[in-house]
Structure 1
Amino acid sequence: MSASTSPYDAVVIGGGFYGAVIALYLARQRGFSRVCLVEREHALLQRASYNNQARVHNGYHYPRSFTTAYRSRINLPRFVRDWPEAVKTNFIKLYAIARRNSKVTARQFERFCRETSAELERADASLRALFEPRLIEDVFLVREYAFDSSKLAAWAMREISEEGIEVRLRTRAETISQMPGDLLQTALRDADGKSSTLAARYVFNCTYSGLNQFGGDFPGTRTQLKQEVTEMALIKAPPELENLGITVMDGPFFSMMPFPSRSLHTLSHVRYTPHFHWNDERGIDPYARLSDYHRESRVDRMIRDVGRYMPAVYGAKYVDSLFEVKTVLTKNETDDGRPIFFERHAGLPRCFSVLGGKIDNIYDVLEKLDAEPLDAPVAPLQSTFSR
């Protein structure tokens, strides 16, 4: 086993979008001169940052969680400003309210949008004609966007390289342990089985579904997490739908969103997208469960149900499915809230675990980090996301 010769200021475990942005934040905003980013995949942003609906939320999705909706309203314009090349805006986004089994009526949805200052107008007759009127109460035109995860990954690699942040790909962190003094030790194993250790003053655990999969002195998260194996179907939309993003809500319904990195659409369904779930526990590796899972698509059932509300979807062509582990806070299952999870571990006070349910939550994480008294010399402020 080899060890680094001098300690790092920080080790960031997890090379998804959150891990990449946090590594850059530490270098640029907090003056950390030695940062190492550790990722088990062959490249950055390959797991949950890629295998998702690619939606930049603007609050509409959360009529039962005002706080989540409000934060999305604040964060969307910031995200568009900071990553304009990765944001797709040139499509029409519709929210349709179901007549039956919806947890929100059209009138309630309009009131909710007024209260959150979210832009909303009734869709014109040509757009409403896409929906079965016996099942859909009303259809609204909204402002919501999609992101291209491939472009975000290219941005992350470029900025991290320019900043001199060390990246270790195809490497898994196995333990986090307290060393004498204020240092933490992270034990690593690469894809060839070679082990090594890194000493650092801080460790940031940004592993999403893998938050609790560490040995050593890592105490685990206090907040209970739920894991789900999910399927995001990728479809080629028929001509009538190819320039649209559509969500039918709020309950056992569906979304169809542009997926810019592959010029397709995702199709997700509240009933069929989750394949199975379990309560997160140490020792139950979510990614191993996903790897062992027989990935039989449910896209036929999705399209069959979606077609009742939006018949044009029957003309869609199925291309592929993205299977991934989705992690949520158990306490937010009933209200659909998606707050960030940010925890400094009492037993390892220089170790932080971070989880976000939406890409725009990154700003909530950065605000939390701003409030932390990290004892590194602070460099002159500059844009965290400068190009």
Structure 2
Amino acid sequence: MFSVEKNRPNQEAVIIGGGFYGSAIAVYLAKQRGIKRILLIEREPALLMRASYNNQARVHNGYHYPRSFTTAYRSRVNLPKFVRDWPLAVKQDFTKLYAIARRNSKVTAKQFERFCREIGADIRPADAVLRALFEPRLIEDVFLVEEHAFDTTQLASWALRELKESGVQVRYQTRVTAISRGARSPLNVVVETSQGGQEVITCRYVFNCTYSGLNQFAGDFPGVSTGLKQEITEMALMQMPASLRHLGITVMDGPFFSMMPFPARGLHTLSHVRYTPHLHWTDQLGVDPYHKLDQYEHATRVDKMLRDVGRYIPEVLKAKHVDSLFEVKTVLVKNEGDDGRPILFERHVALPGAYSILGGKIDNIYDVLEKLDAEYIVSSDDQENSNSGGVNA
């Protein structure tokens, strides 16, 4: 165990989860808030290996959310910030199209155009060559838009570099099992290593950034008050034919599909609203989503995806299935109807100093940092100086 001197916590802050959100929050605490002793705990052998990697790799610009104005508008605000802050990770050298289905779509082409104008998103009619890729009997209209993809391997490189530069300790293949109120310090975090060893870490702050694992802690941790739905999803990785390789395509809005460049592998993702979700359940303590994923048979549904997508874009039938990424996706139950993707940000009153944070999209990180800006988070040294009337250096 770490030594404890004068009841001083082992760490000032413990971040649970080494995905993009956990890494970015650790860097923020060190660089923007002056927190000195920060420990980032990740159960995998490297950073950004789970949901941060196993997703569509899309930097949203609002188009995807015509039924959730707030989510759409926040994406419009956040995208240019993301491009500015992570330029090496952003892929822009492809053409992005949104098409509106004639049947079963929850928006018409005119409604989609009006929505894009309302959020200030660029939209233009696609030219005849691009329109010719679509089956006109099934597609009402096709639009050229501005949307990007991101390379998770570049984000992981950024995280490693920034965490090291910020002095953040990182412990891999370590799992947090409990969070409790401490006798000598505000919080106790119980961790278990891959070898089965156990340790108690004391700290002032805990940031629970475990995405699907938000509620999987014993001790005094109360769980989040917002209802969560867990889904086992399949993201198919495809080698597209030359005619589609330079494109990203989304057909709106309802039981349709998207294909996006996946820069980390030089392939495209293919996702389908009907076939990408394989299994879902209401989140609850004791039902470990990652254990459920491990036990699930990873049988691909890519043939069903391709058969349906091929009706709208015949060229996709020439695509080759290379791999599938299976992962647990976590959504807020309250947003299932409008497909909104707000952040979850909870300060646990019963466990002072503990926060739970979940972002539905990569660009939501700015919404999280805005929330953290408003929180009273200080280092032990600053607190001691304040209590003694001293002046910070």
Shift of 1:4: 4.8
Match of 1:277 in 2: 280
Q: Is 2:123 the counterpart of 1:120?
A: yes
Aligned counterpart for 2:176 among listed residues 173, 177, 197: 173
Q: 1:64, 1:335 within 8 Å by CA — same for their partners in 2?
A: yes
Could you tell me how far 1:181 is from its partner in structure 2? 5.6
Aligned to 1:291: 294
Which one is further off, 4-13 or 308-317? 4-13
| Equivalent residue for 1:211, pick from 208, 211, 214 | 214
Q: Which runs of 5+ in 2 are unaligned?
A: 384-393
Indicate whether 1:195 and 2:198 are aligned.
yes
- Deviation at residue 194 of structure 1 after TM alignment: 1.3
* Residue 375 of structure 1, CA deviation: 2.7
Q: Which runs of 5+ in 1 are unaligned?
A: 379-387
Corresponding residue for 2:23?
20
Equivalence map 1:247-286=2 (5 Å): 247-286=250-289
Instruction: Please list the CA deviations of residues 9-55 of structure 1 after superposition, one character each: whole Å capped at 9, or x if unmatched.
Output: 10000000000000000001111000000000000000000000000
Instruction: State the 4+ residue runs in structure 1 displaced beyond 2 angstroms.
Output: 2-6, 375-378
- State the 1:183 CA deviation: 1.6
1:323 is aligned with what amino acid? F
Question: Do 2:228 and 2:332's aligned partners in 1 also have CA atoms closer than 8 Å?
Answer: yes
State the one-letter code of the partner of 1:151.
Q
Q: Residue 46 of structure 2 aligns with which residue? A: 43
Partner SS for 1:261: coil
Q: 2:56 aligns with which of 49, 53, 56?
A: 53
CA displacement, residues 237-296 of structure 1 (integer Å, 9 cap, x when unaligned): 000000000000100000000000000000000000000100000000000000000000
The number of residues matched between the two structures is 377
**1:182 CA drift (Å):** 5.0
Does the 8 Å CA contact 1:131/1:309 hold for their aligned counterparts?
A: yes
1:363 maps to 2:352: no
Is 1:302 aligned to residue 326 of structure 2? no
* Residue 342 (structure 2) aligns with: 339
Q: Deviations over 1:323-358 (max 9, x none)?
A: 000000000000000000000012102100000000
CA root-mean-square deviation: 0.9
CA contact (8 A) 2:98 2:143 kept: yes
Distance 2:133 2:114 in 1: 24
Alignment-derived partner of residue 104 in structure 2: 101
Cα shift at 1:212: 0.2
Change (3 A) 1:330 1:4: farther
- With normalisation by structure 2, the TM-score equals 0.95
Pairing partner for 1:239 from 235, 239, 242: 242
1:251 and 1:181 mapped to 2: Cα distance? 53
Question: Which letter maps to 2:162?
Answer: E
Whether contact under 8 Å (2:133, 2:314) holds in the other structure is yes
When normalised by structure 1's length, the TM-score is 0.96
Task: Give the 3-state SS of the residue equivalent to 1:69 in structure 2.
Answer: helix
